[in-house]
Amino acid sequence: MDRKSALLATKVDRFRLPLTRVHRDFKSDQTVGCSNVESVNHTGADCVRGRDHSGDFQFAGLASPYTLSAGKWDMEDPTPLYAYLSRNLETVNGKPRFTSFMPADDRTSDVISEQGPIAPGRPLRFVMDALDLRCKDNWPGEIGHINVSGTTILVSAAVRDRIFARSPSGLSLSAAVLEDISGQFIEPLYHLSVYERQNVWDREKSEYPMPFDPARDTSANLDSIVLDPAAVANLSDTARLILRLAEVSPPAILFDAAFVADRAREGLTLGAVFYPLPEWFDGIEYQ
């Protein structure tokens, strides 16, 4: 119930789960009255928000839309608010359903290995992996909306738009093309680089098979992940949409679970598997 309550609270806070119709009158883009309704009556005093309470929708001189400030939610455990991104290893007739891929040239290989924002430029080039099943006489495999191959993520334009709509920080979305092994252009996609590493996993509650000493070891191989409430609370709202954990190998990419649920309803998670973080453990994708 704690996990479900956390997800519901997040959706209510972001106006994705209305409790009543009145939620429409309190969104930050409303322009008439503090609540965009004509029935708000004042005693003649000037509105502290600079709004018009005359009931006339055809007016000029609006000061500024009211921005709703939600109360800070004290997250006892933010772990249920995230989902772990993995490649979809589904097979069809014994062969991978979704394609894997690799950089098609040295420039792409160099650019995606950089630990920082990727500057705009020519589209990055990727090629379907011939070692997986990309032989010319084989079926091409499916291209999803979220494609994962190793540590590389390619997303569709629809997913890119949904991510951009949240104005996230700490990541880059760069134009990319995916080719078959003969060099023929297959499909335009976008390379998702989460370059900011967030040190937000709980060292005591997370589980790992070998001791981890941050003063000596560069990364930990985690069996399970528990997030540190204080560390997550200190992140900006724009940094919380997609997290890449610091000092973790292989890289752990976590998506806001409410964002994933919305994309799943739209059919935009095809190609990837998202595990609720409390249920993820190392090796689950191979079960």
Do the strands 197-198 and 242-245 form a parallel or antiparallel pair, or are they unpaired? Answer: parallel
215 burial type by CB count under 10 A (0-12 exposed, 13-18 middle, 19+ buried): exposed
pLDDT at 135: 43
Interatomic CA distance for residues 244 and 196, integer angstroms: 7
**Could you read off the pLDDT of 90-115 as tens digits, one per residue?**
887 777 788 888 898 999 999 998 88
Interatomic CA distance for residues 59 and 165, integer angstroms: 30
Residue 12 has pLDDT above 70, yes or no: no
**Could you read off the pLDDT of 49-62 as tens digits, one per residue?**
555 555 443 333 33
pLDDT at 151: 84
Report the SS3 class of residue 242. Answer: strand
Interatomic CA distance for residues 62 and 33, integer angstroms: 10
Interatomic CA distance for residues 188 and 185, integer angstroms: 8
CB-CB contact of 157 with 114 (8 Å): no
Vertex 215, ends 211 and 220: CA angle to 5°? 40
Q: Which amino acid is at 271?
A: G
pLDDT at 217: 74
- Number of helices (H), then strands (E), in the chain: 5, 13
Highest mean pLDDT among 141-150, 211-220, 229-238: 229-238
Segments of the chain assigned E as strands? 82-87, 91-92, 95-96, 101-103, 124-128, 146-149, 152-155, 171-179, 185-194, 197-198, 242-245, 253-256, 272-276
CB-CB contact of 141 with 98 (8 Å): yes
